[in-house]
């Protein structure tokens, strides 16, 4: 590889150390990513959101439209959460090999404000209607002893499941996520300018606290925005389940972004087959981890046989949802697991890119499996058998809208700064990285 100096505006950051001369064009995103591509993605995303809104406001089922949109919002959140987790894990382990791919994750993690804007319509509609998706705990009659809807379990959970505290927690989650992601990105970009190697130590120190905060906020956000759709259901493994899917999806997004940049001739010699190999190992590890947590959650609930818990799975084993459950077992675990075991699949850019795209698709189906079965359950005070209602245009547009907006801003963010941390003191280790297994 050609030698290229990673140095700041005032000369080499650390005299006497080896230098690698990197061509500026190699670490600059394609020109279209600064204008045409994000513009197109944002327009398509806005159009999909408008289609979803039209279905929800003029059609017969606001709940269905909101659920489809909520899947898309949680998908974008999972990408940002998983990316932030990976950045902090890389700092904590002082993972030198990851330096040249870390900026891709830092940019994805910095998009929590976008996720917040996308989540706001859900919160506004829920509050205005005293619960649409969350009616099973937001409806005031559930806590009124004189109401025929009174539910003693919801009344018992009301110190946690109440609207003011729900909104306060949402604000707290985003405050933590935005602070951590922006601070880490700021350290990284400041190091680009100044070459101050101690910024790496500061990022590592912040990550030690940040990982604890991220674990807690991710778990409780999962409780609030996914598990409380059925407030009778409870799983102690839910937070880990949400994290496992988020980390897997974020790794896949990083792989797909790197593969696309390599296709345009970017990151040549910086993100090599060796780095893709390690990212492939991470995808394999998180695929196994997701499957382990998913099965463990199911097994423990099946074994304990508590009605409030088993009802969540009973719904998803009938009315057509069992087909999606089988698809997740095969497509989210078995196929990626077997494919990524093969060494060449992790070292050939087309193969690992295809695997990453497939994993991102299956992650969307996983979120559909969590949220969509709740839509057609009988309403409060109603009897009947749950049904499955599919509106192909609505279901696709609802999910794609927030995701395309997220990707549009992500592309623009990638084009705003160098694609790698050019003055990271571990850059040499990353450039010389080799796999021997």
Q: Does any domain span residue 19?
A: no
Give per-residue pLDDT as tens, 104-138: 999 999 999 999 999 999 999 999 999 999 999 99
- Asked whether residue 189 is assigned to any structural domain, the reply reads yes
Assess if residue 54 is contained within a domain. yes
From the CB of residue 28, how many other CB atoms can be counted at a distance below 10 Å?
16
Interatomic CA distance for residues 308 and 157, integer angstroms? 14
- Write out pLDDT tens, residues 237-291: 999 999 999 999 999 999 999 999 999 999 999 999 999 999 999 999 999 999 9
Domain count, the chain: 1
Inform me whether the pLDDT recorded for 4 exceeds 60.
no
Rounded Cα gap, residues 283 and 173, in angstroms: 26
Per-residue confidence (pLDDT) for residue 215, from 0 to 100: 97
Residue 126 lies in a domain: yes
Is residue 437 assigned to a domain?
Answer: no
**Residue 74 pLDDT grade (very low, low, confident, very high; cuts 50, 70, 90):** very high
- Judging by DSSP bridges, how do beta strands 7-8 and 11-12 pair with one another? antiparallel
pLDDT score of 11: 39
At residue 389, the pLDDT reads: 72
Section 178-183 average pLDDT: 97
The radius of gyration of the chain's CA atoms, rounded to the nearest angstrom, is 23
Quote the CA–CA distance of 64 and 208 in Å, as a whole number.
40
Cβ distance 427 to 99 under 8 Å?
Answer: yes
What is the reported pLDDT for 410?
97
Q: Does residue 15 carry a pLDDT above 60?
A: no
Backbone torsions φ then ψ of 12, nearest 5 degrees: -60, 140
The whole-number pLDDT of residue 6 equals 47
Query: Is 15 part of a structural domain of the chain?
Result: no
Sequence-ordered list of residues with C-beta below 8 angstroms from that of 64, at least 6 positions apart, any chain: 55, 56, 375, 376, 389, 391, 394
Enclosing domain of residue 157: 26-431
Establish if 150 belongs to a structural domain.
yes
Q: Is 182 exposed, middle or buried (0-12, 13-18, 19+ CB in 10 A)?
A: middle
The whole-chain average pLDDT of the chain stands at: 91
The stretches of 195-272 forming alpha helices (DSSP H) are 198-225, 238-263
Q: CB within 8 A of 386, min separation 6: which ones?
A: 315, 318, 319, 373, 376, 377, 378
The answer to whether residue 3 scores a pLDDT higher than 50 is no
Model confidence at 319, in pLDDT bands (50, 70, 90)? Answer: confident
Within-domain flag for 403:
yes
Chain-centroid distance, C-alpha 61: 27
7 band by pLDDT with thresholds 50, 70 and 90: very low
What pTM was estimated for this model as a whole? 0.94
312, 314, 290: which is closest to 235 by C-alpha? 312
Core vs surface per residue 255-279: b (16+ CB within 10 A) or e: bbbbbbbbeeebbbebbbbbbbbbb
CA dist 191 and 99 (Å) reads 13
């Amino acid at each position: 590889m050609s030698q290229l100096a990673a140095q700041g505006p005032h000369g080499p950051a650390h005299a006497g150390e080896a230098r690698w001369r990197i061509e500026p064009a190699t670490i600059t995103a394609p020109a279209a990513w600064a204008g045409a591509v994000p513009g197109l993605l944002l327009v398509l995303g806005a159009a999909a959101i408008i289609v979803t809104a039209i279905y929800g406001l003029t059609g017969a089922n606001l709940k269905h439209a909101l659920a489809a949109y909520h899947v898309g919002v949680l998908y974008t959140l999972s990408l940002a959460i998983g990316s932030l987790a990976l950045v902090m894990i890389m700092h904590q382990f002082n993972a030198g090999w990851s330096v040249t791919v870390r900026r891709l994750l830092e940019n994805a993690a910095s998009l929590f404000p976008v996720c917040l804007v996308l989540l706001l319509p859900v919160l506004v509609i829920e509050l205005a209607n005293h619960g649409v998706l969350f009616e099973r705990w937001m409806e005031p009659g559930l806590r009124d002893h004189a109401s025929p809807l009174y539910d003693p379990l919801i009344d018992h959970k009301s110190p946690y499941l109440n609207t003011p505290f729900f909104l306060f927690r949402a604000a707290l989650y985003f405050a933590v996520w935005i602070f951590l992601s922006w601070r880490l990105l700021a350290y990284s970009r400041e190091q680009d300018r100044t070459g101050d190697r101690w910024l790496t130590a500061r990022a590592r120190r912040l990550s030690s606290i940040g990982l604890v905060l991220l674990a807690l906020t991710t778990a409780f956000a999962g409780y609030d925005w996914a598990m409380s759709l059925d407030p009778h259901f409870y799983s102690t493994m839910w937070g880990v389940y949400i994290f496992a899917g988020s980390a897997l999806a974020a790794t896949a997004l990083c792989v797909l972004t790197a593969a696309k940049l390599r296709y345009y001739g970017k990151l040549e010699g910086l993100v090599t087959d060796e780095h893709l190999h390690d990212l492939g190992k991470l995808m394999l590890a998180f695929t196994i981890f997701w499957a382990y947590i998913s099965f463990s959650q199911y097994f423990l609930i099946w074994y304990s046989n508590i009605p409030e818990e088993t009802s969540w799975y009973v719904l998803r084993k009938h009315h057509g949802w069992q087909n999606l459950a089988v698809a997740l077992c095969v497509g989210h675990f078995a196929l990626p697991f077997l494919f990524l075991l093969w060494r060449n699949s992790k070292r050939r850019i087309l193969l690992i890119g295809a695997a990453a795209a497939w994993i991102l698709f299956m992650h969307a189906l996983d979120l559909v499996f969590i949220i969509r079965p709740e839509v057609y359950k009988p309403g409060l005070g109603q009897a009947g058998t749950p049904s499955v209602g599919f509106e192909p245009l609505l279901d696709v547009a609802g999910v794609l809208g927030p995701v395309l907006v997220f990707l549009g801003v992500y592309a623009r963010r990638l084009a705003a700064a160098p694609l790698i941390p050019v003055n990271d003191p571990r850059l040499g280790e990353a450039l010389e990285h080799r796999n021997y297994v």
